[in-house]
Amino acid sequence: MYDDLDFKKMALDKCDRVCKTITANYEKLYDEDDNRDRLFMKELVDTILQVEILTSVYLRDGEIHPNYALEKLEIMKSQVDSQIRYWKAKGEEKQNGD
C-alpha cells in the first residue's frame, strides 16, 4: 500500500524527469537552426516558466495575491492560445496541400 510519502516521492521523481527532459529538449532547440516551428516550441517552454514564478512567489510569501496569480495565468493562457492558433493554421495548410 502507498502512503503520502510514496506519492510525494513519485510526484517529485516525475517532476524531476519532466524538467530534465524539457531542459534537454530546450537546449537542443537552441542548438539547431531556427525555423518557425522551433520558435513556437521555445515559446511553449516559456509558458511553463510562469508556473515556476507562481509557485516560487507562493512558497516565499505563503500566499499569492489573486491579481498577480491571474496576471501570470493570463500570460500563460495567451501563450497557449497563440500555440493553438499557430498549430491549427499549420494543420490547415497541410490539409490544403500548401
Predicted confidence (pLDDT) per residue in 23-55, tens digit: 898 888 887 777 888 888 888 888 888 899 999
Q: What does the pLDDT look like over 75-89, one tens digit per residue?
A: 999 999 999 999 999
Give CA–CA dist 58/48, Å, rounded: 16
Nearest C-alpha neighbor of 30 from the set 41, 21, 19: 41
| Residue recorded with cell 516521492 | 9
Q: Please state whether the predicted TM-score (pTM) of the whole model is above 0.85.
A: no
The pLDDT confidence band at residue 98, using thresholds 50, 70 and 90, is low
